[in-house]
Structure 1
């Protein structure tokens, strides 16, 4: 039996390629927005749950973005906040009150939902 050849032509392929190229920056911006929102949500979570004496730890927790806004680090950055590790991990005299890792665990599924919503919004 002889082989037949078929030719397929995709109409509008160049226009599709241009649209996809324009979508990449929109999707990146949507991801940045979701990551930033999750970082701020974690800051709020930590502020609500951290042990309070003077209130310094609650006031000084920060979210710092890097990698072009695609990654956010949440924690204490000031030298005066070095004692935060003793509250997080505990000592002989102070029981542990972990706030950072639990905030990350609570925010993990929320970040996925935020990313999904932002990407869907960018694709519309």
Structure 2
């Protein structure tokens, strides 16, 4: 009887593993959304409301604002906001976001992530593109 070659074993391994990749990726996204939800959900009701999102946004602003000048530059934002979104949120047009502007952006993204308008976001809503966009501002 002929022994299987390494190439055949590799092909068989790939054939078995590939169908599992999307599921494990979806599981990782789901686990990430649940973990993020738990970190921000201070009243432990399984959802994030606007007050919780704003509180998390303020904490993130404070963490990112290294030079303590009251604003976030594109460098301090670390890719959380595109140039286009920065310009739209920058009410005083100084090229930075102050805490009020950052908070307004958090609120805008929260509302975009809440398509049913119930005032709360669950893990399912946080997994969608608008929810992930909000979470970029909160972590």
Shorter chain as denominator, the TM-score bin is 0.3 to 0.5
TM-score with structure 1 setting the length:
0.37
